[in-house]
Chains A and B, each alone.
Chain A
Amino acid sequence: MRRQIFSPGATSNKVIASIALVCAAAAIAGLGTFATFTSSTSTSHTIASGTLSLTSGPTNRLGTGASTIAAGDSMQRAIDLNYAGSISFGSATLTTSASASSALDTDATDGLHIAIDKCSVAWTESGPPYTYTCGGSTSTVLASSPVIGSNVALSNLTLTAGSTDHLRVTVTLPSTAGNTFQNLSSTVGYTFTGVQRAGTSQ
């Protein structure tokens, strides 16, 4: 019968060996992820990552507020979204928040509502007060919904690198807003976020 021998030195070696084994596995996995950046052939090529850039303008009326609106009133503001980088976007969302808040932005039923539509060409502006007509075709980017939302998905955007979407933001105070909505003020901030397209073979 073989005796089991307790050896402090041998145990330490096993611990070190175990950790080394795990780290090696992690390193191999990591190397697998970056494998495309290396080459084992005699020829060489350069792989450069693209850029993703979402900007607004030149049309951007979204910073223009509205005063003394009443129930049933709406305000239209145009904004161009530019996909300025070299990589197309896969999706875009809108997050809105109120820095100065009132029932206008907290009442999801009778408070302000937002809708966004897109024109295939630049909107034709008149006013102020600003209104817009589309000389091309229109499509709905965001159906009417409460003005405050987080990461609200936007539809029907072009999202293609180098292109521009011409958007019209319509903010409405529903006609159901009663007298409690008199003499209120809210400041609403808008953040458009785009996420890159899915990875493809290059």
Chain B
Amino acid sequence: MRPACSAEPKPLRRPVRWGAVVGSALAAFVVVSGALAGFSSLTAGVSHTIVTKRIFLGPRSLAAQDLRDASSGAETNKSDSYSYADGTVATTSTAIASGTNNYVEFTMSSARAGGLSVSGAQFNFRLASSGGAQAGNACFWFDVRSGGTVIGTHGSYASPSGCSTGTTLTTFSTAMAEVSSTDRANGLVIRAYVWETGTKVKTVNVDLATLTGSTPYTAFTAYEIQAVDDTSGTPATAPWSLATVDASTYTDTTNWPSATPATTKYLKLTLEPFVPTGAVVTAVSLNNVWHASAAVTNGGTLCYYLETFNGATSLATHGSGASPVACTNSGTVFASDTVSLPEVNDVTKSNNLVIKLYYWLSPLCGGGGNPTCVKSVTDRAVVTYSYYLD
């Protein structure tokens, strides 16, 4: 007898269908898993650590801020007036009162290795009234600029960053937390709004404008390479004469000797310490950009050789009275000499580097038929240090 084909009620048909679906899926999974299985093997657990240098190798250039002129045979201090608290001041071009928004502005050097953190950054500003009848005090506030943007403001006309009393030069050191990296410190621009409080407004003397701070590896002082005096309302730019190739130059005070150089007559460049302890110095060179103060006639030339020192200890000479580093007879065209200084090969020598440039007129000067004795004009005296720090 044929079984009856019965139609099941819905509540029972659904489990049957789900049972079929799940069973089919399970079967398919088992089959496919079996088909895709394969052997694999791995070798693992090999690792290594890679550490980069603390400071990558690179050239860092520094102008001599300390310049001594011994062309007369006796040294005179011709250093940058803003770089040292030495009483050698720069006076604002114009008497300036509070609230003018006129300023003096300083662009700092870019000698520090990039990419480092900076702590304890300070602006060190030393100023005083230039004095005179009814003079008062000198005050200032300032803003800080990096990459063309104001990154910090310190004080105001109502709340100055500092005021010196009378003509007594006073140093004010103001913390600048915003200068948190060497990338900001390099080329930092500080605009100081100075004023004089006298009933008859006076000019202001500025003796010092520096940036100090520390990287993880060394403390540093950054000096200005360009100052702008806007106290009149019209900015006047005054680069440090030895920092860059521009219209700002240094002419020594006395004509150089005839025929042979004299070890007592020189220009002396003292470089600031800035290479971190432990660094490896791979190359040091001097770039001297110069010409004669007037054309040297009658077959004569102005020549020089140089000597390097570790502080007061001679390291080496480059050239001599018989074999100059370079000569020129031009009173207008700058010669650019780059002299390698391989003897400056470690941190100590780098941080105590002194260079004397001995000039003379060859074959001789003065007197009938001979070239006229001349001075030298220096446009750039910059030392470049290549170093890294492991």
Residue numbers of A with Cβ under 8 A of B are 2-7, 10-11, 14-15, 18-19, 22-23, 25-26, 29-30, 32-34, 50-56, 60, 62-71, 75, 77, 79, 81, 85, 87, 89, 99-100, 104, 112, 171, 173, 178-196
Q: Which residue of A lies closest to B56 (CB)?
A: A70
Of the listed stretches B26-34, B283-291, B308-316, chain A binds B26-34
How many contacting A-B pairs (Cβ < 8 A)?
181
- How close is B244's CB to chain A, nearest CB, in angstroms? 23
Cα–Cα, bound, A190→B26 (Å):
37
B223 at the interface (CB under 8 A from A): no
Once the chains are docked, how many angstroms separate the CA of A63 from the CA of B48?
5
B19 near A15 with CB under 8 A, answer yes
B100 at the A/B interface (Cβ < 8 Å)?
A: no
Q: Which residues of A contact B49 (CB under 8 A)?
A: 65, 67, 100, 185-188
The distance from the CB of A194 to the nearest CB of chain B, in whole angstroms, is 5
Q: Which of B1-43 contact A (CB under 8 A)?
A: 4-9, 12, 15-16, 19-20, 23-24, 26-27, 30-31, 34-35, 38-43
Residue of A nearest to B217 (CB): A183
Q: Lowest 6 CB-CB distances: which A-B pairs, in order? A: A179-B115, A26-B27, A22-B23, A65-B48, A68-B390, A189-B47
Confirm or deny: B51 has a beta carbon within 8 angstroms of a beta carbon on chain A. yes
Q: Are A4 and B6 in contact (CB under 8 A)?
A: yes
Cβ–Cβ < 8 Å partners of B30 in chain A: 26, 29-30
| A179-B114, A194-B42 given; A184·B51 CB < 8 A | yes
A70 and B48 form a contact (CB under 8 A)? no
- Please encode chain B, from 294 to 325, with 1 for each CB lying within 8 Å of some chain A CB and 0 for all others: 00000000000000000000000000000000
- Whether B23 pairs with A193 at a CB distance below 8 angstroms is no
**Cα of A5 to Cα of B9 in the assembled complex, Å:** 11
Are B40 and A194 interface neighbours, CB within 8 A?
A: yes
In the bound complex, residues from chain A placing their C-beta under 8 Å from that of B15 are 15
Q: Is B133 an interface residue (CB 8 A)?
A: no
Residues on the B chain within 8 Å of A191, using CB: 42-46
Which of B35, B40, B48, B183 is A33 in contact with, Cβ under 8 Å? B35
In the bound complex, do residue B41 and residue A194 qualify as a contact, i.e. CB atoms below 8 Å apart? Answer: yes
B111 to chain A, nearest CB (A): 14
11 A-B contact pairs sorted by A residue (CB < 8 Å): A10-B6, A22-B27, A26-B27, A29-B30, A66-B48, A173-B52, A179-B56, A181-B56, A191-B43, A196-B38, A196-B39
> Does the CB pair A183–B53 fall under 8 Å?
yes
| Given A56-B46, A87-B39, A182-B116; A7-B6 close (CB under 8 Å) | yes
Contacts A22-B19, A187-B47, A194-B42 given; does A182 touch B53 at CB 8 Å: yes
Contact indicator B43/A182 (Cβ below 8 Å) = no
With A2-B4, A190-B46 in contact, is A195–B51 under 8 Å at CB? no
Q: Once the chains bind, are A70 and B31 in contact (CB under 8 Å)?
A: no
Residue ID in chain B nearest A64 by CB atoms: B48
- Closest B residue, CB atoms, query A50: B39
The smallest C-beta distance from A162 to any residue of chain B, in angstroms, reads: 14
Option from B34, B42, B115 in Cβ contact (under 8 Å) with A30: B34
Say how far B104's CB is from chain A's closest CB, in angstroms: 31
| Residue from B31, B34, B41 in contact with A52 in the complex, judged by beta carbons closer than 8 Å | B41
Pairwise interchain contact A192-B43, C-beta atoms closer than 8 A = yes
Q: Specify which of B23, B39, B56, B390 is in contact with A19 (CB 8 Å cutoff).
A: B23
Cα(A126)–Cα(B226), bound, Å = 52
B40 near A186: Cβ-Cβ < 8 Å: no
The answer to whether B47 and A52 touch across the interface, beta carbons within 8 angstroms, is no
Task: Name the B residues within 8 Å of A100 (CB-CB).
Answer: 49
Flag whether B90 is at the interface (Cβ < 8 A).
no
Residues of the A chain whose Cβ atoms lie less than 8 Å from the Cβ of B38: 195-196
Are the C-beta atoms of A5 and B43 separated by less than 8 Å? no
Distance between Cα atoms of A54 and B7 in the complex (Å)? 61
Query: B residues 55-102 with Cβ under 8 Å of A?
Result: 55-57
B386 to A: closest C-beta gap in Å:
12
Q: What's the Cα separation between A34 and B37 when bound, in Å?
A: 13
Interface contact B39-A52, CB-CB below 8 Å = yes
A124 CB to nearest B CB, Å: 21
Residue pair B16, A15 in contact (C-beta under 8 Å) = yes
State A56–B45 Cα separation when bound (angstroms): 11
Q: Which residues of B contact A63 (CB under 8 A)?
A: 46-48
Given contacts A182-B53, A194-B42, contact A188 B27 (CB under 8 A): no
A195 touches B19 (CB 8 A): no
Contact assessment for A69 and B52 in the assembled complex, using a CB-CB cutoff below 8 Å: yes
When C-beta atoms are compared, the residue in chain A nearest to B58 turns out to be: A179
A181 to B58, CA, bound (A): 14
Partner of B31, one of A23, A30, A62: A30
**A14-B16, A15-B12, A15-B19 are contacts. A29–B46 as well, Cβ < 8 Å?**
no
Q: Which of A2, A10, A54 contacts B43 (CB 8 A)?
A: A54
